[in-house]
Amino acid sequence: MAVKAAGRAASRPNDKPSPGGSGGSSPRASTARGSGPSGPGVSPDDAVSPRADTAPELIQLLTPEGERTEHPDYPLELSADEIKSLYRDLVLVRRIDFEAIALQRQGELGIWASLLGQEAAQVGSGRALQPRDMAFPTYREHGVAWCRGLDPAKLLELFRGVSHGGWDPKEHNFHLYTIVIGAQTLHATGYAMGVQRDGAVGEDGEAVIVYFGDGATSQGDVNEAFIWASVANAPVVFFCQNNQWAISEPLDRQSRIPLYQRARGFGFPGVRVDGNDVFACLAVTRKAMQAAREGQGPTLIEAYTYRMGAHTTTDDPTRYRLSAELEAWKLKDPIERVRQYLVRSGMADEDFFAAISAEADEVGGAVRKSCLEMPDPDPVSMFDHVYVEPTALVERERVQLAAYLSSFADEESTAAKETAR
């Protein structure tokens, strides 16, 4: 039965620090000195890099070599079928992503934001959600969309420019993609406060998850969302995919401390998980979502990962980062480690991998076919859903565009008549 939010869980922010939580540790403890980049004699290069991914606070349940490890705060029991199913998700979403990149290169999409390297963060967190939970994505959450049951072809509509979104957010409890960096954290927090007011927090309650990037943590919206969520004790999980880059800006241009430690200053727990470890992402997100559903308020999860591709298909990362960095992260590939684990433990054989690979080709082919078959909308229809009620400005623009387009029709018919003469 759903019960009303039981108010603030006073013990939570002050909980004893877990090996993975920011509970009692001082954010300052991880920086060499207290002054910021502008402090006396401190250049940004002197800053202690928050990049080290071997830090003890990183929650990991599957090593890059495919060895299973345990964590006392995140016990995880998975059957062989469940692990195989996670592997399947990882492979299929990577294949869908590759297909979309190819479609963009062939002129079928205007742009595409690849999730390459972030599959485990997205599938792990996506599989931790209950159907009744609500998810708010950025523009890169194709793996979460897959876990929510969205037809992957729907994702392409926005990038092909044939719709403003592509799906009904209520159908799969998956909100539309948001391009405005960080804005969805406020939407999610407001939504979570609504869940609270509907009395849907408590046993069998609902929670909200919102995705954003490392760069987004510098946005005012995100920091305001943290405050609202904290003060309202809202049932929202902030899932930050720290993929090390905000287009060409590296992480050390965003923060002097590990991002998950920011949560402490806002009064809720923060945790850093190996974002390339699908098991750990699943376990950590499950726990945070359950806490939110039960009325224990927000959690910040920093999924420590890497954007292996370009920011979008319009970007060339070789202009601002070294290939050695990419090569190092390839060794931590989120799919390869699950494969290794499946092989070593004898849970899967070559036939299984071949079947998944064949299915991936099928799914990729279906996405391509759907994309090529999408009808071009009437250009004037772009004004239809700007506002619920018509407005004078939008109407004027609609008339202007219609007149502009019909001027080509006149030209075309004149040209046709001249050719006929």
Ligand X SMILES: Cc1ncc(C[n+]2csc(CCOP(=O)(O)OP(=O)(O)O)c2C)c(N)n1
> Which residues within the stretch 284-323 sit at the binding site for ligand X (CB under 6 A)?
307, 311
Contacts of 178 (CB under 8 A, 6+ apart): 136, 137, 138, 139, 184, 187
- Contact letters (x/-) for Mg ion, 210-229, by CB under 5 A? ---xxx--------------
Q: Give the CA angle between residues 150, 154, 158 to the nearest 5°.
A: 135
If binding is defined by CB under 5 A, does position 137 make contact with Mg ion? no
Write b or e for each residue in 185-220: b if 16 or more Cβ atoms lie within 10 A of its Cβ, otherwise e: bbbbbbbbbebbeeebbbeebbbbbbbbbbbbbebe
If binding is defined by CB under 6 A, does position 275 make contact with ligand X? no
Residue 291 Cβ vs ligand X, minimum distance, rounded to whole Å? 25
Instruction: Return the number of the residue (216 or 229) whose C-beta is nearest ligand X.
Output: 216
189, 230, 243, 261: which one binds Mg ion (CB under 5 A)? 243
Instruction: Return the number of the residue (114 or 196) whose C-beta is nearest ligand X.
Output: 114
Of residues 71, 311, 337, 368, which has the active-site annotation? Answer: 311
If contact means CB under 5 to 8 A according to the sort of partner, which of ligand X, Mg ion, none does residue 247 touch?
ligand X
Q: Is 311 an annotated catalytic residue?
A: yes
Q: Is 187 an annotated catalytic residue?
A: no
Q: How far apart are CA 186 and CA 330, in angstroms?
A: 34
If binding is defined by CB under 6 A, does position 216 make contact with ligand X? yes
What's the one-letter identity of residue 6? Answer: A
Other Cβ atoms within 10 Å of 362 Cβ, number: 12
Instruction: Return the number of the residue (111 or 366) whose C-beta is nearest Mg ion.
Output: 111
243, 296, 305, 313: which one binds ligand X (CB under 6 A)? 243
Residue 212 Cβ vs Mg ion, minimum distance, rounded to whole Å? 9
Instruction: Return the number of the residue (61 or 113) whose C-beta is nearest ligand X.
Output: 113
What's the one-letter identity of residue 160? Answer: R
Look up residue 381 and give its two tokens: 């229809």
Q: What is the DSSP string of 84-122?
A: HHHHHHHHHHHHHHHHHHHHHHTTSSS-----TT-HHHH
If binding is defined by CB under 6 A, does position 181 make contact with ligand X? yes
Q: Is 307 an annotated catalytic residue?
A: yes
Look up residue 332 and give its two tokens: 């931590």
Q: Environment class of residue 375 by beta-carbon count within 10 Å: exposed (0-12), middle (13-18) or buried (19+)?
A: exposed
Among 334, 222, 216, residue whose Cα is nearest residue 275 = 334
If contact means CB under 5 to 8 A according to the sort of partner, which of Mg ion, ligand X, none does residue 337 touch?
none
32, 52, 80, 179: which one binds ligand X (CB under 6 A)? 179
If contact means CB under 5 to 8 A according to the sort of partner, which of ligand X, Mg ion, none does residue 355 touch?
none
Instruction: Return the number of the residue (275 or 295) whose C-beta is nearest ligand X.
Output: 275
Instruction: Return the number of the residue (114 or 233) whose C-beta is nearest ligand X.
Output: 114
Residue 217 Cβ vs Mg ion, minimum distance, rounded to whole Å? 9
Residue 216 Cβ vs ligand X, minimum distance, rounded to whole Å? 4
Q: How far apart are CA 291 and CA 201, in angstroms?
A: 10
Q: Give the start-end residues of each E strand in 176-248.
A: 208-213, 236-242, 245-246
Number of H helices, E strands in the chain: 13, 8
Instruction: Return the number of the residue (314 or 357) whose C-beta is nearest Mg ion.
Output: 314
Among 271, 258, 281, residue whose Cα is nearest residue 337 = 281
90, 145, 246, 257: which one binds ligand X (CB under 6 A)? 246
DSSP state of 62: B
Q: Which stretch binds ligand X (CB under 6 A): 32-40, 77-85, 188-196, 208-216?
A: 208-216
- Contact letters (x/-) for ligand X, 139-178, by CB under 6 A? -x--------------------------------------
List beta partners, residue 161: none
Kindly determine how many residues on this chain lie close enough to bind ligand X according to the rule CB under 6 A: 16
Of residues 197, 320, 344, 387, which has the active-site annotation? Answer: 320
Residue 63 Cβ vs ligand X, minimum distance, rounded to whole Å? 25
Q: How far apart are CA 35 and CA 32, in angstroms?
A: 9
The sheet with strand 134-136 has its strands ordered as 58-59, 270-274, 299-304, 236-242, 208-213, 134-136
List beta partners, residue 211: 239
Q: Give me the residues that bind ligand X (CB under 6 A), please.
A: 138, 140, 179-181, 212-216, 243, 245-247, 307, 311
Residues known to be catalytic: 307, 311, 320
